[in-house]
């Protein structure tokens, strides 16, 4: 059973990281050997440390500036923007860390060469990548098995979140009207092995339905599984491509599906996170004090009122606490009662909009973290009035309160704003995913995405 070459999302991201490092390293070797580039002229262990430091900077700043975001990586304009900023920051940080990088060269032109040796190879290689990933042989071909209701919801999700997956068709009892462009295979007389072979199917996505659990279909799937064909449940597939819990899991069987992450039960993880919270919050408070004069001037000119804003929020175990923010709305913004803020809310001042775009309005919450009311990472705390409403409308909403709320969180970076019930429901799926998968790697990803949000002014 011959299958076409394909790469999943994690493999592509790993591939990008490895080749980024290789092309820069190869370029340094070539330029140092044949041209007038003496920045890395050294022998022994120093050279290994210097190159390793450069690679770490490339990977770190590449992550911040979205070089490993597959949507960005498929756009030439976005690639040039991200590579340029990454190369610039790598160069600046590299020349200011002389202990783990070479001393500043006598000829400052070598610094420009360093920027070029990072920028040009990465740009050329990434343009080559864009040409390669569009080749059909690198696409992933999947077959869906399920009933009309779930397939009608699943296919749009795949198109939106995993466009590198080519749906070759679906197996069901009846042809679905709104899925005319996909091949329909009748479950009554289907030979899945023949479809897998003909269309080079690399993965079969199976929903929980009478079709997939039927004796005939189930036996065929077992044989294919034994032959090495990847078979995954639709729920797990949705979780993998959206990084949130599927809607279908918010049912009575939810408690069978959701368990605390192993990190939640680890005292070592909890103590480590608290130490990181305190350390980063102390640094955050220091920066807040440094920027405070600018906030005061901006508030006097464009806000005209109190600088700080205090508000009750619901924290861990449902306990309320007083959150501290820089005021971004006009005075008496809620004279007619509390309402969700809209993305383009007319109550937001010009200075307040700037603070929101950069997320600087959240800086005073470092004091909440130091007091132990919040953590650096967790579900964003909501107001008691809204929590009462959401708990009535959304099953399991209160589960968000089993951990401390955060200054930033998985829902915050994946779905930045929610001004209605449907968007709150989407954010809930991300928050529950974080509670289920919580670990240091995921926490690090959230921090990097938060920095990217601030850098690109994606806040609302």
pLDDT in tens, 193-244: 999 999 989 899 998 777 766 788 888 999 999 888 899 988 889 888 888 8
Same domain, 22 and 107: yes
Long-range contacts of 349-356 (CB under 8 A, 24+ apart): 349/302, 349/303, 350/302, 351/298, 351/299, 351/301, 351/302, 351/303, 352/302, 352/303, 352/327, 352/328, 353/328, 354/298, 355/298, 355/326, 355/328, 356/328, 356/459, 356/460
Residue 247 resides in a domain? no
Same domain, 306 and 322: yes
Q: What is the pLDDT of residue 114?
A: 87
Same domain, 349 and 438: yes
Residue 224 resides in a domain? yes
For 24, phi and psi rounded to 5 degrees?
-70, -45
Which one is predicted more confidently, 60 or 335?
60
Confidence of residue 259 (pLDDT cuts 50, 70, 90): low
Same domain, 287 and 224: no
Residues near 451 by beta carbon (within 8 Å), at least 6 away in sequence: 64
Q: What is the pLDDT of residue 245?
A: 83
Residue 3 resides in a domain? no
Number of domains in the chain: 3
pLDDT tens digits for 379-406? 999 999 999 999 988 878 888 999 999 9
Q: What is the pLDDT of residue 3?
A: 47
Where is 308: in which H helix or E strand? strand 308-314
Residue 2 resides in a domain? no
Residue 343 has pLDDT above 70, yes or no: no
CATH number for the domain spanning 208: value is 3.40.50.720
Confidence of residue 33 (pLDDT cuts 50, 70, 90): confident
Same domain, 293 and 416: yes
Choose one of 196, 211, 242: the last residue of a domain. 242
Same domain, 93 and 116: yes
Same domain, 143 and 116: no
Confidence of residue 318 (pLDDT cuts 50, 70, 90): very high
Residue 255 resides in a domain? no
Same domain, 95 and 120: yes
What is the Cα–Cα distance from 80 to 84, expressed in whole angstroms?
A: 6
User: Buried b / exposed e across 346-381, counting CB within 10 Å, b at 16+?
Assistant: eebbebbbbbbbbbbbbbbbbbbbeeebbbbbbbbb
Residue 2 has pLDDT above 50, yes or no: no
Residue 254 resides in a domain? no
Domain span holding position 41 = 9-133
The mean pLDDT of the chain is 85
Same domain, 235 and 220: yes
Q: What is the pLDDT of residue 424?
A: 87
pLDDT tens digits for 145-157? 988 888 888 888 8
Same domain, 127 and 146: no
Q: What is the pLDDT of residue 9?
A: 66
Same domain, 274 and 385: yes
Same domain, 108 and 163: no
């Amino acid at each position: 059973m011959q299958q076409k070459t394909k790469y999943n999302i994690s493999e592509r991201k790993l591939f990008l990281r490895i080749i980024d490092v290789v092309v820069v390293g190869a370029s340094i070797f070539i330029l140092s050997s044949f041209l007038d580039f003496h920045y890395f002229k050294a022998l022994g262990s120093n050279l290994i440390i210097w190159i390793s430091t450069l690679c770490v900077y490339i990977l770190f700043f590449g992550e911040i500036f979205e070089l490993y975001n597959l949507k960005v990586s498929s756009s030439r304009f976005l690639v040039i923007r991200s590579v340029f900023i990454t190369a610039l920051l790598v160069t600046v940080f590299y020349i200011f860390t002389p202990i783990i990088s070479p001393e500043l060269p006598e000829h400052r032109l070598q610094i420009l060469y360093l920027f070029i040796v990072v920028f040009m190879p990465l740009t050329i290689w990434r343009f080559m990548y864009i040409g390669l990933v569009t080749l059909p042989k690198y696409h992933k071909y999947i077959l869906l098995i399920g009933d009309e209701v779930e397939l009608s919801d699943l296919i749009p999700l795949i198109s939106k979140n995993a466009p590198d997956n080519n749906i070759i068709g679906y197996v069901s009892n009846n042809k679905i009207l709104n899925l005319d462009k996909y091949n329909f295979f009748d479950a009554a007389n289907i030979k899945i092995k023949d479809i897998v072979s003909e269309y080079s199917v690399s993965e079969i996505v199976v929903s929980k339905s009478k079709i997939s659990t039927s004796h005939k279909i189930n036996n065929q799937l077992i044989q294919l599984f034994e032959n090495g064909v990847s078979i995954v449940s639709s729920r797990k597939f949705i979780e993998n491509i959206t990084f949130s819990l599927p809607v279908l899991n918010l049912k009575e069987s939810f408690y069978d599906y959701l368990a605390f992450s192993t990190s939640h039960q680890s005292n070592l993880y909890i103590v480590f996170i608290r130490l990181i919270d305190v350390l980063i919050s102390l640094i955050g408070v220091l920066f807040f004090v440094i920027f405070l004069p600018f906030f005061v001037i901006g508030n006097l000119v464009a806000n005209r009122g109190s600088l700080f804003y205090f508000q009750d929020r619901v924290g861990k175990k449902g306990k309320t606490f007083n959150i501290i923010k820089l005021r971004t709305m006009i005075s008496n913004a809620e004279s007619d009662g509390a309402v969700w803020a809209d993305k383009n809310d007319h109550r937001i001042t010009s200075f307040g909009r700037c603070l929101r775009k950069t997320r600087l309005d959240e800086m005073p919450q470092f004091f909440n973290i130091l007091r132990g009311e919040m953590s650096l990472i967790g579900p964003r705390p909501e107001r008691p009035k809204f929590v009462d409403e959401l708990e009535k409308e959304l099953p399991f909403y209160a589960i968000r309160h089993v951990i401390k709320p955060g200054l930033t969180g998985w829902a915050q970076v994946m779905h930045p704003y929610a001004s209605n019930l449907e968007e709150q429901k989407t954010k809930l799926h991300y928050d529950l995913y974080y509670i289920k998968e919580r670990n240091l790697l995921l926490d690090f990803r959230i921090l990097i995405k938060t920095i990217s949000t601030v850098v690109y002014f994606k806040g609302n």
